Amino acid sequence: MTMISEDVVSRENDRRLADLKSDYAHLGAQLARRGVDIDAVKAKVAAYAVAVPSWGVGTGGTRFARFPGEGEPRNIYDKLEDCAVIQELTRATPTVSLHIPWDKVPDLKELKERGAALGLGFDAMNSNTFSDAPQQEHSYKYGSLSHASAATRQQAVEHNLECIAIGNALGSKALTVWIGDGTNFPGQANFTKSFERYLDAMKDIYKGLPDDWRLFTEHKMYEPAFYSTVVQDWGSNYLIAQELGPKAYCLVDLGHHAPNVNIEMIVARLIQFKKLGGFHFNDSKYGDDDLDTGSIDPYRLFLVFNELVDAEVRKAEGFSPAHMLDQSHNVTDPIESLMRSAMEVCRAYAQGLIVDRAALAGYQDGNDALMASETLKAGFRTDVEPILAMARLDAGGAIDPVATYRSAGYRAKVTGERPAVASGGGGIV
Ligand SMILES: [Mn+2]
């Protein structure tokens, strides 16, 4: 079954096919002069996948307000349908990353079958101990896995073990743990004791991890705590992965760093020491803005992918990062934002693939800073859109996903089926 009619996709593609073929041939000739086989790049792009977060298809908000969009998904089944639209048109997002308890359902078999019927699998599970669920015994107001109270920590551990059990039933192979634990005041908590308690709790979660699973820990510099967070930076994150063991890896969310931090170098370090677990892609200007991937600083995204391609090309040991989008869509149709973001990561990947790595290494070793920079930037400057569009077309997707989505009238259709949600107070999703 498809959410977007194949007739609409064909009609929209037919309108653009001649231009695409011409653009692809032209780019192919350009790349051939640079020693790059366009079909080989296209094949790699076609095999690339990035997971969509279930919470991403709902309209996001800030701590000031949330302005709901039209036809918002009511539950995980609606969310899966929206995620299927993204996959059908982009062919780059075959999996969905769930969030518990938001996506909790009584019948996991039904959920798995529904995903399969829509052509979707399940990516990393995300636990939530940064807010209180209804009827929860102990509050996370003052922390969860690092809480001073053993009973609260135990409750948080059990929640994570439940996420593993749910993921196991759905075919997931990873758990992502991000905690909101931290402080707003110097002196509010003892840094060392908090981190010791966190590590002890994480060891209990790690023990419950199946052999073929990976555990991703996600650091975040600030927010919701504004003075210190327990898992503050990639250094703390690396220490956690080292303490826990071989199934523990560091997850890099592009928005969770101080401004101007060299994220691509952090990526390189984690690859070198075999602890890069994966990514949450987004973009930002001032902080953890959760803006659309590649919308503010596409060059930074390219530089991250340059490190990933470098590791891929040299077959770096233990290199198998998970890729996911993690954004908040406050002023756009979330489906459109997620499609465009998925295409942006594909673009950065393709641009990384066409960098002349032999020439780059030569300039690096020869201390030719200008030509090294020029060689790297040549990849970023290349408009690889024909490669991305042709990969989508070959896989049954849309040459222009956003235009095709609008032409299909999906948002108007679901707006008629899904009741409007009242506007309300703050709340980032
Ligand atoms: Mn994240």
In a domain, 15, yes or no: no
Interval between CA 10 and ligand 1 midpoint (Å): 35
Task: Record the tokens describing residue 296, joined without a space.
Answer: 């503010």
In a domain, 1, yes or no: no
Cα–Cα distance for residue pair 408/402, rounded to 1 Å: 10
CATH of residue 185's domain is 3.20.20.150
In a domain, 380, yes or no: no
Interval between CA 177 and ligand 1 midpoint (Å): 10
In a domain, 282, yes or no: yes
Q: Which distant-in-sequence residues (6+ apart) come within 8 Å of 203 by Cβ?
A: 243, 244
Interval between CA 304 and ligand 1 midpoint (Å): 16
In a domain, 70, yes or no: yes
Interval between CA 224 and ligand 1 midpoint (Å): 13
Interval between CA 34 and ligand 1 midpoint (Å): 37
Interval between CA 386 and ligand 1 midpoint (Å): 30
Number of domains in the chain: 1
Global pTM reads: 0.97
Compute the average pLDDT of residues 32-52: 98
Q: For all residues of the chain together, what is the average pLDDT?
A: 96
Whether 426 shows a pLDDT value over 90: the answer reads: no
Q: pLDDT tens across 73-85, in order? A: 999 999 999 999 9
In a domain, 226, yes or no: yes
In a domain, 255, yes or no: yes
Interval between CA 169 and ligand 1 midpoint (Å): 23
Q: pLDDT tens across 210-237, in order? A: 999 999 999 999 999 999 999 999 999 9
Interval between CA 428 and ligand 1 midpoint (Å): 12
Whether 389 shows a pLDDT value over 50: the answer reads: yes
Q: How far is CA 124 from CA 3, 54, 270, 279, 371, in A?
A: 24, 11, 19, 11, 40
Compute the average pLDDT of residues 279-290: 96
Quote the strand ranges of 95-237, DSSP E. 95-97, 121-122, 125-126, 174-177, 182-183, 214-218, 228-229
DSSP-derived letter for residue 291 is B
Cα–Cα distance for residue pair 380/363, rounded to 1 Å: 18
Interval between CA 309 and ligand 1 midpoint (Å): 22
pLDDT band at 420 (very low <50, low <70, confident <90, very high): confident
pLDDT band at 428 (very low <50, low <70, confident <90, very high): very low
Owning domain of residue 211: 49-357
Interval between CA 201 and ligand 1 midpoint (Å): 21
Q: pLDDT tens across 232-241, in order? A: 999 999 999 9
In a domain, 319, yes or no: yes
